[in-house]
Structure 1
Amino acid sequence: MLKSMLACCKLYISESRNAIALDSIERAAKLHPEAIITNIFKDEVYNRVGYTIVSHFTPANSSLDASSPLKRAVFSMVKAALEAIDLELHSGTHPRVGVVDHICFHPLAQASMDQAAGLANSLAADIGHKLQGVVDCGSHSLGRQLQCPSPSPPTLEAVRRIARRVSGRGGGLQSVQAMGLVHGENSTEVACNLLDPSSVGADQVQLEVQRLAHEEGLAVCEGYFTDFSQERVIETYLRTIKSCN
């Protein structure tokens, strides 16, 4: 197997407390053994779970081909989530657009962005056609607010200012996306996506958040990760797939 021909999907679902629903989603993934879940991150405060799924590419399934094991696995997980979760019963403080909140594909190692984009486009078409799902390819394109029904603590506006200032869009650190969110009854957090961690890493983000928080008169705890590095994701996939063969 070529280490260079791998792709990864990050699948975020608006549920982390319903064990029966999560079991159904994970059993759906196991129907496609060539695709491996390398990480599961559950946040019970947000009531949200993130799955990292990895599979190989071959010339026959490297783009839109329906035989792509990664695409088939993610589609099965999405279908299971839609069948098992009632969003009207959902409560949590993370913004969300639906039961399946966010799906993104990434090339690993030497796989190309075009291949990952092809998988994303093909999966989006299948969800729309086969599951009659509404697919939003970028929340800003709809010009609407995400749902987040929880009350706001007094510090939230300050945390949102920090998030804007630390983000690339707000003139801060390039390749950093950030949101200020409520996380539990007595805490808020600056949730960040590091789009290019080789250029701007977590340590740099931590220091900048601490600096900006000091200006706001807020104390800052140490940040945490919701997934592994690209290298560890690849290692986990290769080790797991080897043990299954």
Structure 2
Amino acid sequence: MPPISQFALYLAENVLSKETLMGLVESIMNFSEGRREDVVAAISAAISGVAGVQLLDVQSDSDHNRTVISFAGPADAVGEAAFQATKVAQGLINLDAHRGAHPRIGATDVVPFVPLGDTPMAECVALAREVGRRIGDELGIAVYLYEEAATRPERRNLADVRRGEYEAWRENVDRDPARQPDFGPAQASPAGATVVGARPPLIAYNVYLSTADVEIARKIAKVVRFLGGGLRHVKAMGLLVDGRAQISMNLVNYRSTPIHRVVEMIRSEANRYGVSVTESEVVGLVPQDALLDAAEHYLQLNRFRRDQVLEQKLAAGGDSATATEVSWLPTATLRSFAAGTPVPGGGSAAALAGALAAALGQMVANLTVGRKKYVQVEEILRAALARLETAGRDLTRLAADDSAAFAALMSANKLPQDTPEQVTERDRAVQSATSQAIQVPLTVAQRAVALLDDLATLATQGNPNARTDAQVGAYLAYAAANGAGLNVLVNLEGVADSAERDQLSGQIQTLRTAAEAGLQNVLGSA
């Protein structure tokens, strides 16, 4: 995998074997919000709340009014996190009110998927198209595919897709055939459009000049970028940021066009205008090799070897046999729960307990079906297995939904109340977020209780050597139902309608009673 130091150390800490690098993907999502910390926190929480995802970096820029969030993990988990983050951003970012120096077309502006290690680009292309389809179908957001996932050659380049920004897209999406999205409606909304794609790693790199004259930055950017006849694999534009001229760049192939070559060309062009480079910055993460290339160049390290880097030695160490043995442990997930942040929390834990209960049920079923000894119950257990597989997937998704719902509720409660209009909007947002924060754990409790019937069947008719596994699953389902019920009850105070509160409270009591009866049924089957 590209040697991104933070992620390499994460892998080393989790003692993952080399084989587990297959299927790992990074996403570097760009959101059109860089000033409201609570909104950025809610989006970040939606990402970190997905099991298996490692949140790597969050960087906000108030002048650009933009945030870049990097995270990585297995492809399916990264795709789910990208969807959940887009869902939260849709409810919290209004492009009609957005102002910033950076071009943008949507609340969730860009969603690139980058293959790590031995993951093929084709897997990221498939992931981009599936996530794009979900965003279009389930959230009603117009989606455009770009780079390797593009379905039209004119949409490979992000700048072409985003040309004219949100305002031009809003005016033309429903009447210009060229604006027809790949997924979702050809209809304007305050969330704008989202550009989803697959690409190799790139470096977002900015250089500041000793001038406030943005025209100088624009002239240098034109010379440096490939489309202006400059360096291949460089995209650049000139901006005014915090009173300083900035050359904002994407370096799309740092191996062919290294950072130091870009800096030296900018420095040479700046001298022509009597200005200098004052500093530079990396936005998001950077491959370690890119920095080592610059170090070798400027320090003239002609006999330097990459294996002399201490962190690389640490990341490469470890017993691969031991790593394989423990690779199934949810170390990153446990760290996320222990981090001292509001999400993921008890609601997500309840859903994951339910998912683990479903997984244990599947284990018992898979130890039974296909064996001659149990042929008479084969059909019954295969049906139970199918239901448990569906429940496991649903409960895993609900774990992410719960974190996203709680994060959205926190953000809604922090909305301003300085004018009557703001009070009305805040009340509407709080009621909507409260409803979702109740509905998600209520669904978890319902799904957890439903598991107990299949677990009872497995305990009585499945492989007797795995009966205790079914019973452990029953305890987990019981915990999931009761834990989720607590999260419903704690949010009832936000429901204005007393009849609705009583009805929901009654539902939870019924589910708790059913969970107790279901647990005893499974335990009594021994």
Which residue of the other structure, out of 186, 206, 228, is the alignment partner of 2:285?
228
Task: Please give the secondary structure, in 2, of the residue aligned with 1:15.
Answer: coil
Distance in 1 separating the partners of 2:260 and 2:131:
35
Match of 1:29 in 2: 47
| CA displacement at 1:141 relative to structure 2 | 4.7
**Is it true that 1:183 corresponds to 2:241 in the alignment?**
yes
The 2-side partners of 1:19 and 1:77 are apart by 15
Q: Partner residue of 1:18? A: 36
Query: Could you say if the C-alpha distance between residues 220 and 50 of structure 1 is closer, same or farther in structure 2, counting changes exceeding 3 Å?
Result: same
Cα offset for 1:45?
Answer: 1.7
Distance in 2, matches of 1:218 and 1:20, equals 38
2:60 corresponds to which residue?
A: 42
Query: 1:41 offset after TM fit, Å?
Result: 1.1
- Structure 1 residue corresponding to 2:73, chosen from 42, 45, 55: 55
Deviation at 1:87, TM superposition (A): 2.4
Deviation of the 1:44 alpha carbon: 1.5
User: CA shift at 1:231, angstroms?
Assistant: 4.9
Q: Distance in 1 between matches of 2:166 and 2:97?
A: 14
Say yes or no: does 1:133 pair with 2:138.
no
**How far off its partner does 1:110 sit?**
1.6
Task: In structure 1, give the amino acid aligned to 2:54.
Answer: I
Cα 1:13/1:142, change in 2 over 3 Å? closer
Measured against aligned partners, the alpha-carbon deviations of 1:150-206 in whole angstroms (never above 9, x if no partner) come to xxx97223322211211122221111111111212x212111111111222221111
How far residue 82 of structure 1 moved from its aligned partner, in angstroms, is 0.7
CA distance in 1, matches of 2:45, 2:100: 24
How far 1:30 sits from its partner (Å)? Answer: 2.6
Q: CA deviation at 1:143?
A: 7.7
Q: Secondary structure at the match of 2:143?
A: coil
Kept after mapping to 2: 8 A contact 1:39/1:51: yes
Alpha-carbon distance change, 141 to 229 in structure 1, aligned in 2, over 3 angstroms: closer
Which amino acid in structure 2 is aligned with residue 75 of structure 1? F
Task: Give how far 1:90 is off.
Answer: 2.3
Aligned to 1:96: 104
Match for residue 192 of structure 1 among 233, 236, 249: 249
Residues 108-139 of structure 1 show CA distances to partners (whole Å, capped at 9, x for unaligned) of 12211111111111111111111111223344
The corresponding residue for 1:65 is none
Give the gaps of 5 or more residues in structure 1: 58-67, 236-240
1:12 and 1:51 in contact (8 A); partners too: yes
Q: Is the 8 A contact 2:112 2:128 kept in 1?
A: yes
Q: Secondary structure at the match of 2:34?
A: coil
In the aligned structure 1, how far is the partner of 2:35 from the partner of 2:77? 28
CA distance in structure 2 between the partners assigned to 1:56 and 1:97 by the alignment: 28
For residues 37 and 101 of structure 2, the distance between their equivalents in structure 1, rounded to whole angstroms, comes to: 19
Which range moved further: 220-229 or 42-51? Answer: 220-229
More helix by share: 2
* Structure 1 position 4, deviation (Å): 4.2
* Partner in structure 2 of residue 157 of structure 1: 215
Correspondence for 1:61? none
Q: State yes or no: 1:6 paired with 2:41.
A: no
Q: Residue 238 of structure 1 aligns with which residue?
A: none
Paired residues of 2:69 and 2:284 also in contact (CA < 8 A): no
Cα separation, 2, equivalents of 1:140 and 1:201: 22
Match of 1:215 in 2: 272
Matched residues in 2 for 1:14 and 1:44: separation?
10
**1:121 aligned residue:** 129
Equivalent position SS for 1:193? strand
Show the counterpart of 1:145: 164
Change (3 A) 1:46 1:144: closer
**How far 1:81 moved relative to its partner?**
0.5
TM-score, normalization by structure 2: 0.40
2-structure distance, mates of 1:224, 1:143: 24
Distance in 2, Cα, partners of 1:3 & 1:130: 31
Does the CA contact (< 8 Å) of 1:96 and 1:146 recur in 2? yes
- In structure 2, relative to structure 1, the CA distance for the partners of 1:83 and 1:4 (3 Å cut) is same
Deviation at 1:217, TM superposition (A): 2.9
Higher relative contact order (CA 8 A, sep 6+): 1
Structure 2 alignment gaps of length 5 or more = 1-15, 146-154, 168-210, 290-311, 316-329, 335-526
Q: Displacement, 1:242?
A: 4.3
Verify the 8 A CA contact 1:15 1:49 in the aligned structure 2. Answer: yes
Distance 1:95 1:143 in 2: 8
Paired residues, number: 224
1:105 paired with 2:113, answer yes
SS in structure 2 at match of 1:40: strand
The whole-number CA distance in structure 2 between the counterparts of 1:25 and 1:89 is 19
* Structure 1 position 167 matched with structure 2 position 215: no
Displacement of 1:140 in angstroms is: 4.8
Matched AA of 1:180: G
Cα deviations by residue, 1:33-76 (Å, 9 ceiling, x for unpaired): 2111111111122111000110124xxxxxxxxxx111000100
Contact 1:37 1:54 in 2 (8 A): yes
Match of 2:343 in 1: none
The alignment-based identity, stated in percent, is: 25
Q: Is the Cα contact below 8 Å between 2:54 and 2:332 reproduced in 1?
A: no
Q: Structure 2 vs 1, CA of residues 218 and 91 (structure 1 numbering), >3 Å: closer, same or farther?
A: same
**Please, what TM-score do these two structures have when normalized by structure 1?**
0.82
- Which deviates further from its counterpart, 90-99 or 68-77? 90-99
